[in-house]
Structure 1
Amino acid sequence: MSSTRPPMTQKGADRLRDELEYLKRVKRPEIVAAVAEARAHGDLKENAEYHAAREMHGFNEGRIAELEAALSNSEVIDTERLSVGKRIVFGAIVDLVDLDSDAKVTYQIVGDLEADIKQNLIAVSSPIARALIGKNEGDEFDFKAPNGVKTYEIVGVRYS
């Protein structure tokens, strides 16, 4: 992995490309039509619909630029081709057990832009991911969480 280009999983890159395609092919034409319709209503100085449509256009174009930059600057890592055994590296799907509460959680370590805690996708730069990188299935480790120190056991490591 190149240290100058941020990593991204293939699935994450595909999701971002899908979003980019939607913004360009669907959202952009909708906004252009809304701007044209609002412009047709006359005086632009006091036309709230026009200003709202222009603002939406700016947000959409900004997101398009952000996605294009992220996709062109990232190094896409095909996690299915990694052959690191049960060692945790970028892209790993890790099953953990909290040894204090027996609570189980599964995380995948992904690029910063594709991270989404609601989907258990954690950024490679996050404290928990940094604590996991380099460890192996069966290892135990302490992690300083906001509500105190947690001790976890790594019960599964896979790549897909």
Structure 2
Amino acid sequence: MTPRRPISPEGLRKLQEEMDRLIRTERPAVIKEIEIALGHGDLSENAEYTYAKEKQALIETRIRDLQERLAACEVIDLNNRPKSDRIVFGCSVKIEDVDNGDQKIFTLLGQDEADISKGIISIDSPIGKALIGKEVNDVVEVKTPGGLKEYEVLEVS
């Protein structure tokens, strides 16, 4: 059985939009490219045909991946969750590096929504796992490639 993957309604919508685009736009376009390339004759030396078939394989692989991800999604409505002082899925968290005082703000969401450039981390990431269930003033230890890091939770919202 595939483990459930928590996701926000917005994250689910984005996955569904990508799947829809691949099925309705990308797949028919690559089929058309293959048809055109087939019209050019000898397939053994037909780079357009080879490229289009490779592109088709990538599209079909991504569609299957999205189907599996969508089937495993567990949508968590961020607007209807109970008020809590503990860090849970969907929370924004302000943390401080205990060693150097650097502060960071993260929002904890699912794997499919993680984007560090936007301050969104997965609850399955090392820091996400360490933060889940913690409260303000708690200190968490996170194993990083650079060694063990300690962070203090400053705010939870």
Q: 109-118 or 96-105: which moved more?
A: 109-118
Kindly provide the CA deviation profile for residues 91-122 of structure 1, in whole angstroms up to 9, marking residues without a partner as x.
22212121322222122222223323333322
Structure 1 residue ranges without an equivalent (≥5): none
Matched, 1:71 2:53: no
Partner AA of 1:94 in structure 2: V
Contact kept, 8 Å, 2:111 with 2:124, in 1: the verdict is yes
1:73 positional shift: 1.9
1:137 positional shift: 2.3
Matches of 2:103 and 2:94, distance apart in 1: 7
1:51 positional shift: 1.1
Contact kept, 8 Å, 2:3 with 2:72, in 1: the verdict is no
Aligned residues: 156
SS of corresponding position for 1:113 = helix
Kindly provide the CA deviation profile for residues 59-93 of structure 1, in whole angstroms up to 9, marking residues without a partner as x.
10111121122112211111222114221112222
Q: 57-66 or 107-116: which moved more?
A: 107-116
1:133 positional shift: 0.8
Partner AA of 1:17 in structure 2: Q
Counterpart for residue 17 of structure 1 = 16
Counterpart for residue 26 of structure 1 = 25
Matches of 2:125 and 2:43, distance apart in 1: 46
1:50 positional shift: 0.3
Contact kept, 8 Å, 2:11 with 2:113, in 1: the verdict is yes
Q: What TM-score, normalized by structure 2, do the two folds share? A: 0.87
Q: What TM-score, normalized by structure 1, do the two folds share? A: 0.86
Counterpart for residue 143 of structure 2 = 144
Partner AA of 1:43 in structure 2: D
Matches of 2:25 and 2:67, distance apart in 1: 16
Matches of 2:118 and 2:17, distance apart in 1: 18
Spell out structure 1 runs of 4+ moving beyond 6 A. none
1:140 positional shift: 2.3
Counterpart for residue 88 of structure 1 = 87
Counterpart for residue 108 of structure 2 = 109
Counterpart for residue 130 of structure 2 = 131
Computed over aligned residues only, the root mean square deviation of the Cα atoms, in angstroms, reads 1.9
Matches of 2:45 and 2:142, distance apart in 1: 55
